[in-house]
A and B are shown apart, each in its own frame.
Chain A
């Protein structure tokens, strides 16, 4: 087993700062199915969380509640000091500050890469076009595909599309980034290029919540690992502890399965 890799330089999350995200007693049902049970989770600014667990355990649903793509029915979610309620204006304001990367990229196929990146800055942040394009090119360079700016998403490989999706989210200068299984729909040879972009982002000190099964990535960047099973958070711990001494029987089983 590899020892923990070289430590990152960015400022360590400070527990005295107001938290980025705070979920208390959160519950959600789909009809009769209790999909999230009593979720309590505090994410500090600059903290990187990896959320793992068997499929159907509620991981994706939980992070989708943070930008209200899913509605919770009970409990409280406070993002950056603002509580999520049904107030539509408040939701749009919160969404601007939360970037999200989806399993299936969800780029806009009718727009070029550059237009995908500038759409929200221009129409939501009211940025001037030249400035938005400048920002877009900066982030395309960060994810190492500035030469694809004038192509359409359909002309790019899966890995490139996912890097564009990351850049698109970053163009809104979000405070928090959510990743919903960003590498699960990719061919194996493209996983690394996406993970590299995510590692670079983590090194910049971004607050990140990643639902992923990439345990190598988890070990390298996560401050904490959240293990979910059957709609609940079962265990939360640092990667070193979680991988070497999983406390819960279900965590052990999951790790045994995923690490072959």
Chain B
């Protein structure tokens, strides 16, 4: 009865509805003194930074004028430099006439990566496809068999970054799985071997491992037995990545309840089949966020090979900047290289996110 005597809420006016959102955001932005101060502070910050950034990036930038002179005069970014130097930036000191080869290699790797993320292409023959592609890639890059030979010391830029990333991570992943299993083995020799390897690699900075591979190995290996510098760096990166991936995968393995092993054993599944069919698919899924993290770090770690004299993207960026004709636009060059690394890392992060959402939620 009482409820009836309450005044009915006033009908909202059309205008009130229209400005509801505005009013809500005003309340959020200026609702309390603290919010008001923060809003003002960020407002000032945006006004102070965004216009100059836009001026530098676009308005005052040299976008198309191919002459170095335009860049010297302009107060904005010199994007025409990136155009003019794109060949050298992307392919380093690879012989000019043969640049079609690394260009094909880059496209091939990117196309294969795009192909490999489709669940429909996950089959044993995908691994075979990659192995075949890698043989083709090394032939295209190094030459021989009808192509002009190009030593690895002349390789550079994007293909080096892509090859190092794909091969190091691609090999490190299965090796990491084996190391993780070995570390959980009940056989002492295997377990201790894995612990020693993982802990010594994790205990050293990647830089020092690269130095050992490129500078110290020649000191105690005869010339004939010494692998190529590129291969040595590749092996160093792979071992480093494998040790980290092993620990991440071991974390995933520890999340699998004992009942899963028992159920597989009770069905008569032997060790390797139990791992492959029952344990690893679950363990890796649990570990996806941490795995993605490690792999993204490794994508960027490949740039450290510049310290042992390999020309990855960053080294070729530095080399390009040395041209005296141009005003040495370092910020633009590194923004461009940064964008490439970002594209690689971000794509991988999206892929990991997709994997995580796929399939049933565990337990």
Q: Which residues of A contact B (CB under 8 A)?
A: 67, 69, 88, 92-93, 95-96, 98-100, 102, 104, 106-110, 119-120, 123-124, 152-155, 168-169, 172
Contact = CB atoms under 8 A, between A and B. Distances in A.
B268 A100 contact: no
A155 B278 CA distance: 19
A215 B117 CA distance: 54
Interface string B250-274: 0000000101101101111110010
Nearest to A101: B266
Contacts of A95: 265-268
A104 B259 contact: yes
Contacts of A92: 268, 270
A102 B269 contact: no
A119 B361 contact: no
Contacts of A93: 268
B359 interface: yes
Nearest to B278: A108
A67 B268 CA distance: 9
- 4 closest Cβ pairs, A-B complex: A96-B268, A152-B360, A106-B263, A120-B267
Given A69-B262, A93-B268, A106-B260, A154 B363 contact: yes
Contacts of A107: 263
Interface residues of B, number: 22
B281 interface: yes
Contacts of A153: 360
Contact of A99 (B262, B266, B281, B363): B266
A120 B265 contact: no
A153 to B, nearest CB: 8
Contacts of B260: 106, 108
Nearest to A88: B270
B262 A124 contact: no
B282 interface: yes
Nearest to B360: A152
11 contacts: A69-B266, A92-B270, A95-B266, A95-B268, A96-B268, A102-B259, A102-B266, A106-B263, A123-B277, A124-B268, A154-B363
B101 interface: no
Contacts of B266: 67, 69, 95, 98-100, 102, 169
B47 interface: no
A155 B360 CA distance: 9
B362 interface: yes
B285 interface: yes
Nearest to A125: B268
B267 A102 contact: no
Nearest to A115: B277
Contacts of A123: 269, 273, 277
A120 B268 contact: yes
A123 B362 CA distance: 23
Nearest to A120: B267
Given A95-B266, A168-B267, 14 more contacts: A67-B266, A93-B268, A96-B268, A102-B263, A104-B259, A107-B263, A108-B263, A109-B362, A110-B285, A110-B360, A119-B267, A119-B278, A123-B273, A123-B277
Contacts of A99: 266
B263 A110 contact: no
B137 to A, nearest CB: 34
B153 to A, nearest CB: 47
A197 B240 CA distance: 53
Among B270, B273, B282, the one with the most A-chain Cβ atoms within 10 Å of its Cβ is B270
Among A95, A98, A102, the one with the most B-chain Cβ atoms within 10 Å of its Cβ is A95
